[in-house]
Amino acid sequence: QNTASIVISNDSKLTISKHIYGQFAEHLGHGIYGGFWVDKSLPVAKQDRIRLDVVAALKKIKIPNLRWPGGCFADEYHWRDGIGPSAQRPRMVNTNWGGTTEDNSFGTHEFLKLCELLGCEPYIAANVGSGTVEEMSKWIEYVNSNSTSTVAQLRKQNGHPDPYKVTFWGIGNESWGCGGNMTPEFYADQFKRYASFAKNYPGAPLKKIASGPNSDDYNWTEVIMKNIPDWMMWGISLHYYTVPTGDWGHKGSATAFSEKEYFNTMVNCLKMEELVNKHSAIMDKYDPKKKVALVVDEWGVWTDVEPGTNPGFLYQQNSLRDALIAATTLNIFNNHCDRVRAAALAQTINVLQSLILTDKDKMLLTPTYHVFDMYKVHQDAKYLPIQLNSPDYTVDGKTISAINVSASQDASGKVHISLANLDIHNDITITTSLKDIKWKSVTGQILTSANITDVNTFQQPDKLHLANFTGAKKDGDKLVVIIPAKSVVTLELE
Ligand code: AHR
């Protein structure tokens, strides 16, 4: 009963883009301010006001890109407010997120410095909702041009002589909602107008990303794909959040939930598979050669905020359940790497499904962080197709697949297999055949804990941590793995 079988083949030419492992950092709560960008007086190592322990942790998991400044904030952000001497920058109210005063001390140069320190590519979301074509066009010129134009010279005066060569640009965010409440027809026209004036500068061919559908709004994808030619857009975004109860009014707690609620959360998480399949099918109609990427640039679990915190700051704890959500979602993306070529978890530090939580000078790595650590081996590796036969996990008569999996082969020939066991009661024995893949030995890492609700806290920051996994063996030609209940495992075959 508690057995699964997997067949992994070598029969593919596809690569799992490293950009699937991207991150998102919005001006929201303590994501930027108090997260990446801290007070000068905070007793931690910093460069300018960028917190370096956070940078080192994110470098370790090789984050490939960072999306900024929003989110909803992007469509009320005016980039000129965030350049020049910090003390002279105008202040604004962050109307989306808690009505806080934004002092603009973290602007374009600070963000691009952060990306340089992280060794990742910047992904800038431009303001379409309340900005102008001229404003967006000049922002790109400011960042990427090496010309004698006044705006390019201004960047040089502000301390950066060389162009930054930022290639990822979002043309608006959630234009169906906080980004302007547009119809897809209106947005498609707006996209073409804005994209026409988003220019390529030497060494920086733009990857323009259209504001895509909300969850299962298939009509949005249809209209965008029909109206915007493939040469004009590199990608179309998709936003989907896993809400535990499925009810935005009472999303559910991040730390206290029953097995039934956990199960429903995983059902909602697995909806990503359906969304990717259905949006991809629409894209295939207009773009059979798959030139346009599906960019899932906001995903993750969205729970109620931690009791006592500002509801506008979206601060939530992160449990073993969230690690299983991350692993399952990344497996879905890896397995759809033909179309999903970039993504961003929402939102890196102290906001929604974070990789890192901070409390003044303290920081901790969440269970989700550890999944990204294990899964980094898949970045830019060759995708390996999989056939899976999994036992069911059943709660209250409803059923999901207990196991999900993805696999890849890196440039040195090592094979990596990532498995999640969503069943919280049963260990599962998995027998794997590998077709046309030679290997001699297997090692692995595991993330698990006694309870699905377990979290890392500032008192116990390493309660959930990666451990060596010894439950995998070579048996003749087969790989036999006993994966414990509620765990994530990544295996390395050499
Ligand atoms: O990630 C939080 C918010 O969720 C973003 O600002 C917005 O794009 C989405 O609705």
Q: What is the pTM of this model?
A: 0.97
Amino acid type, 261: E
Which pLDDT belongs to residue 1? 67
Distance 146 CA to ligand 1 centre (A): 33
Question: Mean of the pLDDT values across residues 33-41?
Answer: 97
> Which residue shows structure tokens 């696999």?
407
Question: Mean of the pLDDT values across residues 258-264?
Answer: 98
Closest CA to 136 of 69, 197, 92, 76: 197
Which one is catalytic: 26, 141, 298, 492? 298
Distance 70 CA to ligand 1 centre (A): 7
29 lines ligand 1 (CB under 6 A): no
Q: For residues 205 and 183, is the Cβ–Cβ distance under 8 A?
A: no
In the 8-state DSSP scheme, what is residue 97?
A: T
366 lines ligand 1 (CB under 6 A): no
For the chain, what is the mean pLDDT?
97
What are the tens digits of pLDDT across the range 283-305? 999 999 999 999 999 999 999 99
Which of ligand 1's atoms lies nearest the C-alpha of 174? 8
What are the tens digits of pLDDT across the range 330-373? 999 999 999 999 999 999 999 999 999 999 999 999 999 999 99
Residue minimizing CA distance to atom 7 of ligand 1: 71
Closest CA to 194 of 213, 175, 176, 177: 175
Cβ-proximal residues to 435 (8 Å cutoff; 6+ apart), any chain: 7, 8, 9, 10, 11
Report the share of the chain in percent with pLDDT over 70.
100
76 lines ligand 1 (CB under 6 A): no
Can 492 be counted among the known catalytic residues?
Answer: no
Give the DSSP H/E element, type plus range, for residue 188: helix 184-196
pLDDT value at 41 more than 80? yes
Distances (CA, A) of 342 to 19, 151, 233: 4, 30, 14
Residue minimizing CA distance to atom 2 of ligand 1: 71
298 lines ligand 1 (CB under 6 A): yes
What are the tens digits of pLDDT across the range 196-238? 999 999 999 999 999 999 999 999 999 999 999 999 999 999 9
Where b means 16+ CB within 10 Å and e means fewer, 17-28 reads: bbbbbbbbbbbb
Can 494 be counted among the known catalytic residues?
Answer: no
Q: Residue ranges of the domains in the chain?
A: 3-8+384-493, 18-379
69 lines ligand 1 (CB under 6 A): no
Q: Best mutation site among 32, 66, 72 for ligand 1, i.e. most ligand atoms within 8 A of its Cβ?
A: 72
| Euclidean distance between CA atoms 323 and 328, whole angstroms | 9
| Euclidean distance between CA atoms 266 and 268, whole angstroms | 5
- Structural tokens at position 201: 């500068």
Distance 71 CA to ligand 1 centre (A): 5
What are the tens digits of pLDDT across the range 62-97? 999 999 999 999 999 999 999 999 999 999 999 999
Which one is catalytic: 102, 110, 174, 492? 174
CATH of domain 3-8+384-493: 2.60.40.1180
What are the tens digits of pLDDT across the range 444-475? 999 999 999 999 999 999 999 999 999 999 99
CATH class of 18-379: alpha beta
